[in-house]
Structure 1
Amino acid sequence: MFHLNNIIRTSFLIIAFILPTTSHADSVNDLQKYLNETKSLSANFNQTVRSKSGKTENSSGQFYLIRPGKFKWIYKQPYNQEITSNGQQLWLYDIDLAQVTIKPINKALDASPAAILTGNNNLAQNFNLQSLPTKDGANWVALTPKSKDGSFAQIRIGLVNGAIDRMELDDHFNQTTMISFNKVQKNAPISAQMFTFTPPAGVDVIRE
């Protein structure tokens, strides 16, 4: 089964970088500008995690978020899992395992890429930013965490025609997560009720 911690790490990455830009030279500035303008976001996603050995794991689903701090990540394939935050705490619900893990949002996000959309918009505080050459028809931005204690070595965002198209996420376990997006909606209305969660009766609840 796809490991829940791996899902959490890649989910945070996805939440953090649905951010379009328009040109190679100005991609970092455009990324920051788009972030400043983003109040809500939703999209469908397809995700592939490739290990150092070349083994791949595929998943897909939807996500929704409202700034600050509220998001819901829904994995529908190949396993049923949900990650929900109300801005104060995080619920990690593995439906197949009937298990919910609850942790404070500051402990869950810290300086992770998810903090980009749910935090104070100061990208340079936690990341070194660099515009990369155009590749495979996309403009790319690289974000390298300043802290060496996180889960990620580098995140690369590919943008096509001013909109998010794909991402490549390298972690410290020599895994690369590749994500593509469709039906992205920025600043569309999203019900706040989506970001509340009550553990179903009978599930195991773990608090961290």
Structure 2
Amino acid sequence: MNRTDTPVVAHTSENTASVSRQRSFGLMLAASALGLMVSPESWAQDAAERLSERLEPLETYHASFEQKILDSSGDHLQEAQGEMWLARPGLLRWEVDAPYAQTVMSDGEEVYLYDPDLEQVTVQAVDERITHTPALLISGNIDDLTASYDVHYENGDEDIFTLVPSTPDTLFEELNLMFEGETLTELWMTDSTGQRTAIIFSAIRQNSEIDDERFTFEIPEGTDVIREGR
């Protein structure tokens, strides 16, 4: 993980995205062959509704994670492990244990990026760009999510939702959410350089009680504080 970047992410492989597009196109051809009038807009609407059905019941989410960053050729650049807590709307705690300790926490109004090795914390107001970070995006408003992204859906051993931003000013080009049944198990994200980030979740607990203190950040004494945008 790049220690200067917000580590809250997730991606989809190029092969998965290609297969998804091919299957969607094949379904449209099959519908046409049967004489059904199915527009691309109706497919997108159906995918968005399916995604909303998965996310709306999600009040809290707690899991361990393994994060891998790959370059455009698929070579591993970095790996990290940690634990996350999420509560809607807008609450997040993302703790990286290895190889470098780091904490990212949102209380819904501000985001704290804490590096204990550097004894430094960066504080940012929650704005539109910050909320487009994948984990915060999932913890946010469902209507805003489906309004800001074109959503595509692929059904298989896993249900895969591909989100493509409808505006250019985002942190990623494509985001994939993978579900096993009703449980979110993986996030894949691809940025404009072709770099991909994969986050695989384990020991998942959905809608379990999370102490409010998880989403309160106390700045350690002696820590340098950088407040951006002020």
User: TM-score by structure 2 length?
Assistant: 0.76
> 1:30-69 to 2 correspondence within 5 Å?
30-52=50-72, 54-69=75-90
- Equivalent position of 2:92 in the other structure: 71
Could you tell me which runs of 5 or more consecutive residues in structure 2 were left unpaired when the two chains were aligned: 12-23, 25-42
Question: What amino acid maps onto 1:2 in structure 2?
Answer: N
Q: Is the 8 A contact 2:121 2:224 kept in 1?
A: yes
Give the Cα separation in 2 of the matches to 1:96 and 1:2: 14
Higher strand content, 1 or 2: 1
- Who is 1:19 aligned against? none
Does 1:126 pair with 2:138? no
* Counterpart residue number, 2:192: 172
RMSD: 2.4
Q: Which amino acid aligns with 1:155?
A: L
Partner of 1:11: 8
Matched, 1:181 2:193: no
Matched letter for residue 8 of structure 2: S
Question: Are the equivalent residues in 1 in contact too, given 2:129–2:171 (CA < 8 A)?
Answer: no
Distance 2:110 2:167 in 1: 23
Structure in which a larger fraction of residues adopt helix: 2
| 41-50 vs 153-162, greater mean Cα deviation | 153-162
The answer for the alignment partner of 2:183 in structure 1 is 163
**Count of matched residue pairs:** 194
Structure index of larger Rg: 2
Deviating more after overlay: 169-178 vs 28-37: 28-37
SS in 1 for 2:127: helix
What is the identity percentage for the equivalent residue pairs of Structure 1 and Structure 2? 27
Which of 138, 143, 147 aligns to 2:158? It is 138
Q: Deviations over 1:56-91 (max 9, x none)?
A: 210011100222221100000111000111111111
Alpha-carbon offset, residue 112 of structure 1: 4.1
Offset, 1:13: 4.7
Of residues 184-193 and 105-114 in structure 1, the stretch that sits farther from structure 2 once superposed is: 105-114
